Amino acid sequence: MIEKEFELNEQTLSVVEEMGGHMPGGFFIYRAEEPEELIYANKPVFDIFGCSSMEEFRALTGWTFRGMVHPDDYDRISGSILEQISSDDEHMDYAEYRIIRKDGVIRWVDDYGHFLETKGHGGIYTVFISDITEKHERIRSHIEGHKETIKALSETIQKSKQERIAFSRVAQALARDYICIYVVEPDTDEFVEYSSLEEYDQFGLEKKGGDFFNLSRKNMERLIYPEDRERILAVFTKDRVMSILERDGIFTAKYRLMFEEGPRYISMKATLFDDEDSRHLIIGINNIDAQIKRERDYQKKIAEVKNRAKNDFLANMSHDIRTPMNAIVGYTSIANSHLDDPEIVRDSLEKIGSASHFLLSLINDVLDMSKIESGKMQLSMGECDLSSVLHRIEDITSIQARTRSLNISYDQSRMKNFHVWADEMRIEQILVNIVSNAIKYTPRGKEVDLIAEELGRQEDGRNRYRFTIRDTGIGISEDYLPYIFDSFSREQNTKTNRIQGTGLGLAITAQIVELMGGSISVKSKVGEGSEFTVVLDLESRTPAGARTDEAPRKIGEGLQGQRILLVEDNDVNAEIATMILSQYGVVSERAENGRVCLDTIRQKEEGYYGAVLMDLQMPEMNGYDAAEAIRKTGGDYFARIPIIAMSANAYDEDVRRCLEAGMNDHVAKPFKPEILISRLEKYIGEGK
């Protein structure tokens, strides 16, 4: 059985692209959800649309399915596709519609679609498409050219003088494209059948007669593959077929017939044909077994790829989690058995610290990756001060560089406008990732540079910024370079093998850059070093109350003597936060939950606390409710006191909920001391 839930993600999409590139016919994938955005289309699709490149095709169709279909045909077929996939166990559909090529010429295509639920993209359609204009023209001209014959034919049938019907040339012509054709008179249910293939004769079906629908249903009971029987019999009644035809102009069904060699897929297509005074129902039966098999093979391959990707992922994860966990467990027990030797205890703690740091970054990376893949990663746009971003990066990375005896330099001499509208945290994440890599993959004593430059105003009014991170490290081989932004990819060589990493950092970095509409590139030579370049176009902002020409301050300086209310139910967390705060001269008082927080803050005189650090999940009253209640207390102090959430609920939705509840900001737990302190400083102390 083919699995319905297919994981279409970075890894599998590249395989889909690879397969799509080798397919002879048109193949594309689009999201079921409005606006039906395309995920992939292969080159034959561009050819069908008369486009010579992806860019042309994008411009022509807006990269949506709707944009591919002739506007006059869209409503008809989109209704029919929905109806088909919901009535078909395999979620397959068939449609014929017009498209408008780049040169303005209208062409007919057929569309064999398949609906799938995926984790990454929700409902998607995979579609095989081909140009059937010539075939269509042929059928149409046959019908047009033989209108008289059809009319005569139907009159004859209506007069119940079927023996007088010569072998109709129309039906004969039509039958060339089908195994067999039925011409039915809806008023009387009389019919004539023409078959072009002898294989269909094996069923011994009536060639003409009356009571078409009932007779067909009786034959269907006998000939349709048992699994498909009920489904088809439920729709194939005269009333259903006619009402679908009235609405959509076409009725299609797909099912298996029991041929002597075994069941084979058959498609039935019915249309109404009007001549001056009466209408005829024309039903074509076709063998689509090969087509379905092709689709099946493709689905099977996808399922295999999916499985492989999943296994790789699990193997990677279990290795990457086990390694630091081993270190944590091992060094804890070493420290425990050497409590009287401070040297060993210190050394063990250091190793536990670095392993837990790695574990945390792994968890954050996996969360980011899953957010990106499910399309949930969103930018939190706001006022962003690039100079403080660069300072923080300097704070973090200069320590890393020092411990590895590297020379690191920061150059922002070509920056003028630091205030922009952007997601400050994500910009920091991008740069910290790349600089940390440069430090990680550069041997002791060598150089790392971070250069931030402003390149000037773009046509759309935004400023272009370029960040260059250059190192004189081990470099990246030409073979690996094309895969450097793939998730879980790491260069396999003796040097990198000894350096801890998951191969997720750059994948995430590249995705965030893309989300920001920017670009990232890399140049490298083994043994000489690497250069990563990130280019971002950002909107300038003049911040309210901006201070300029200010000497950089040390982080936490403005917090001395501030008093804050720490709302936290967990003793360990409270102790950690209290210790960190006290190192920066901040006095903290603790409330065990939202209710205690409310009582305390209302009892003290106004202005007593400089800020509230708020946990979110707590007994009695949670952080959201407490923050809301503080804001509703009334008066300037309660309306303005900075409330910063401190929580392990670190998804964007959680952050949004915090802001909605009236909090000013959110710091994810566990936090780096500098992050908490710089965030506090942003709202109180001098940074206020």
Identity of the residue, 225 or 410, whose beta carbon is nearer to ligand ADP in the bound complex = 410
CB of 16 to ligand ADP, least distance (A): 23
Distance CA 650, CA 646 (A): 9
Identity of the residue, 503 or 623, whose beta carbon is nearer to ligand ADP in the bound complex = 503
CB of 378 to ligand ADP, least distance (A): 22
Residue written as token pair 């039509």 = 174
CB of 527 to ligand ADP, least distance (A): 11
Q: Residues 190, 212: contact at Cβ < 8 Å?
A: yes
CB of 530 to ligand ADP, least distance (A): 4
Amino acid sitting at position 84: Q
Identity of the residue, 507 or 618, whose beta carbon is nearer to ligand ADP in the bound complex = 507
The four Cα atoms 198, 200, 206, 209 give a dihedral, to 10 degrees, of: -90
Q: According to CB under 6 A, which residues from 447 to 486 bind ligand ADP?
A: 471, 473-476, 484
The correct pick among 190, 228, 428, 491 for binding ligand ADP (CB under 6 A) is: 491
Identity of the residue, 482 or 635, whose beta carbon is nearer to ligand ADP in the bound complex = 482
CB of 500 to ligand ADP, least distance (A): 7
CB of 509 to ligand ADP, least distance (A): 7
Identity of the residue, 404 or 682, whose beta carbon is nearer to ligand ADP in the bound complex = 404
Identity of the residue, 431 or 580, whose beta carbon is nearer to ligand ADP in the bound complex = 431
Identity of the residue, 524 or 664, whose beta carbon is nearer to ligand ADP in the bound complex = 524
Q: Residues 427, 384: contact at Cβ < 8 Å?
A: yes
- Rounded to 5 degrees, what angle do the CA atoms 208, 214, 216 make? 60
Q: According to CB under 6 A, which residues from 161 to 190 bind ligand ADP?
A: none
CB of 134 to ligand ADP, least distance (A): 50
Dump the DSSP string for 291-321: HHHHHHHHHHHHHHHHHHHHHHHHHHHHHHH
Kindly write out the interface string for residues 185-224 of this chain, putting x where it contacts ligand ADP by CB under 6 A and - elsewhere. ----------------------------------------
- Rounded to 5 degrees, what angle do the CA atoms 521, 526, 531 make? 30
CB of 309 to ligand ADP, least distance (A): 17
CB of 7 to ligand ADP, least distance (A): 21
Number of chain positions touching ligand ADP (CB under 6 A):
20
268 closest CA partner among 206, 200, 208: 200
Q: What's the distance, CA 13 to chain centroid?
A: 11
Identity of the residue, 113 or 475, whose beta carbon is nearer to ligand ADP in the bound complex = 475
Identity of the residue, 296 or 495, whose beta carbon is nearer to ligand ADP in the bound complex = 495
Identity of the residue, 11 or 562, whose beta carbon is nearer to ligand ADP in the bound complex = 11
Give the strand pairing for 643-647 and 611-614: parallel
The values of phi and psi at residue 568, to 5°, are -160, 125
The correct pick among 114, 146, 490, 590 for binding ligand ADP (CB under 6 A) is: 490
Chain position whose Cβ is nearest to ligand ADP? 501
Q: Residues 613, 590: contact at Cβ < 8 Å?
A: no
Kindly write out the interface string for residues 525-564 of this chain, putting x where it contacts ligand ADP by CB under 6 A and - elsewhere. -----x----------------------------------
Distance CA 586, CA 568 (A): 16
CB of 523 to ligand ADP, least distance (A): 11
Q: Residues 174, 184: contact at Cβ < 8 Å?
A: no
450 closest CA partner among 370, 531, 558: 531
Kindly write out the interface string for residues 492-511 of this chain, putting x where it contacts ligand ADP by CB under 6 A and - elsewhere. ----x----xxxxxxx----
Q: Residues 581, 534: contact at Cβ < 8 Å?
A: no
Amino acid sitting at position 396: I
Q: What b/e string do you get for 408-431 counting C-beta neighbours within 10 Å, with b at 16 or more?
A: bebebeebeebbbebbbbbbbbbb
Identity of the residue, 42 or 433, whose beta carbon is nearer to ligand ADP in the bound complex = 433
Identity of the residue, 68 or 474, whose beta carbon is nearer to ligand ADP in the bound complex = 474
Identity of the residue, 474 or 565, whose beta carbon is nearer to ligand ADP in the bound complex = 474
Residue written as token pair 């509409």 = 517
648 closest CA partner among 625, 627, 623, 617: 617
Q: According to CB under 6 A, which residues from 409 to 448 bind ligand ADP?
A: 437-438, 441
Kindly write out the interface string for residues 579-598 of this chain, putting x where it contacts ligand ADP by CB under 6 A and - elsewhere. --------------------
CB of 327 to ligand ADP, least distance (A): 16
Cis peptide before 71 (omega within 30 of 0): no
CB of 319 to ligand ADP, least distance (A): 13
Identity of the residue, 413 or 494, whose beta carbon is nearer to ligand ADP in the bound complex = 494
Distance CA 105, CA 101 (A): 5
Distance CA 232, CA 240 (A): 11
CB of 404 to ligand ADP, least distance (A): 13
93 closest CA partner among 116, 112, 68: 112
Identity of the residue, 445 or 552, whose beta carbon is nearer to ligand ADP in the bound complex = 445
The values of phi and psi at residue 421, to 5°, are -100, 110
Q: Rg of the Cα trace of the chain?
A: 34
Q: Residues 44, 52: contact at Cβ < 8 Å?
A: no
Give 588's Cβ-side CA count (13 Å radius): 25
Kindly report the number of other CB atoms within 10 A of residue 92's CB atom. Answer: 22
CB of 502 to ligand ADP, least distance (A): 5
Kindly report the number of other CB atoms within 10 A of residue 207's CB atom. Answer: 13
Give 409's Cβ-side CA count (13 Å radius): 10
CB of 503 to ligand ADP, least distance (A): 4
Distance CA 431, CA 440 (A): 14
Binding footprint of ligand ADP on the chain (CB under 6 A):
437-438, 441, 471, 473-476, 484, 490-491, 496, 501-507, 530
